[in-house]
Amino acid sequence: MQRITYMGEQVWPKPRQSRNSAGQYKRGSAMAKVLATIALVVFAFVGSYFLFGAAGQQMADATVDWIADQIAPTVHAENYVDPKALAKSMLGKSIDGLKDAVVADIEQCESQGDYGIIVFDSNNEASIAGMQFQRKTVIHYVEKFEGKTITRQDAIEVAVHKETARALAKRIIFEEDAWQGKDGAWHGSWANWLNCSKDLNVRARVDAIKSLSI
């Protein structure tokens, strides 16, 4: 029978559970426990941010060091990778998932994920599809991030496709800092979706995720 192994452990077909010397079934692999723990640490950190404020780069570095310490015993000599490098990779993927969750929450608030919806604002400007982008907004940010000018039709194409709309929204939220005008109003980043961002506490969530970046 063909078998698939990973780091010396058979992963397919899944082997039957065996008992230890005490007659108890063995628990899951060490790596599985590590991955579950890492996920809990990342989400617990982001949650604590809302209560205690920005933790900054030092806590992000400490988190990486802690993850590396947990990974190190599971790394076999014949398949050696640097535990700290692997920790950074794992934490980076977890952070990316948190960013995607922010975008998905805004999308749900704005349109319930409906990419066929068009809403005309009081200025008679269309807000288009799931992320409710206006054409001028798409044109502005494509030029800012990619250095190219697109047409209004191109902007519609970006807005009506879930993948491109979400990708652009993610860059806007996490690569641009929001700022306050003299009138106290917020602009840029998450403030492009101001009402939903207030309802979803997006500002605090974005600050927490940015503080985890490595």
Find, among 107, 102, 104, the residue nearest to 129 by Cα.
Answer: 107
Produce one character per residue of 115-130: b if its CB has 16 or more CB atoms within 10 Å, e if not: eeeeeeeeeeeebbbb
Strand, coil or helix: what is 165? Answer: helix
Which tens digit of pLDDT belongs to each residue from 103-113?
999 999 999 99
Q: How many CB atoms lie within 10 A of CB 195?
A: 9
Helix %, strand %, coil % of the chain (to 5): 60, 10, 30
Handedness of CA 171, 102, 93, 5 (dihedral sign): negative
Check residue 188 and report its DSSP letter.
S
Which tens digit of pLDDT belongs to each residue from 146-180?
999 999 999 999 999 999 999 999 999 999 999 99
Can you give the pTM of this predicted structure?
0.61
- Lowest model confidence (mean pLDDT) among 74-83, 117-126, 131-140: 74-83
